[in-house]
Amino acid sequence: MKMFLEKVNPFVILRQNDGFTMIEMLFSLLILMTISLFVVQLFSIIQTQVGTIDKLHPKEWEVFTMQMHQEVRSSKSQDILGNRLYLLSSDQLTSIEQYEDKVRRRVDGKGHEVMLQNISKFHVEQDGSVIVLVITDKAGTTFSRSFHPYLRNEKEVDE
């Protein structure tokens, strides 16, 4: 006797009812919800990154002003030449200047420490002993802060 083996297709067995079962529907809903959750998160990340590219973050400005406050207060002499702020402390000459779209700090003409970024304009002026910094970011927002040194200029700094 010859036995015939029928090949059973598993998809035919699943499709005998001609419709979805409740478990299949819940599984497809779970997949849809998971994908939509990730898409929403992706859009929120993209939106926050696009919106803050040209702006100066307020926390960055606060950290910068605290650093500048400490630099100016600890310096013996302050001088402004060519829109650069020179601070002399002990035996180091520190310069604060705009470099491309950044505000950088250099010590003795060496190094490149970025203090702020996304800057379109950097202006420094001295009103008596008070140093006034005016910074405009790429979005057009202007920030200004005055710094009062403890010590007045002892000598002028030549470039």
Amino acid at 42: L
Phi-psi region of 132 (alpha: psi -120 to 50; beta: other; left: phi over 0): beta
First-residue to last-residue Cα distance in the chain = 109
Contacts by 84-89 with C-beta closer than 8 Å and gap 24+? 84/124, 85/124, 85/131, 85/133, 86/157, 88/155, 88/157
**Residue 97, C-beta contacts closer than 8 angstroms, at least 6 positions apart:** 83, 84, 85, 103, 104, 106, 122
The predicted-structure confidence for 13-47, as pLDDT tens digits, reads as follows: 555 555 667 888 899 999 999 999 988 888 888 77
Would you say residue 141 has pLDDT above 70?
yes
Question: What torsion, rounded to 10 degrees, do the Cα atoms 69, 98, 143, 80 define?
Answer: 60
The predicted-structure confidence for 52-98, as pLDDT tens digits, reads as follows: 567 888 888 999 999 999 999 888 888 899 889 999 988 899 999 99
Element (H, E) at 24: helix 22-51
Backbone angles phi, psi at 148, to 5 degrees: -110, 115
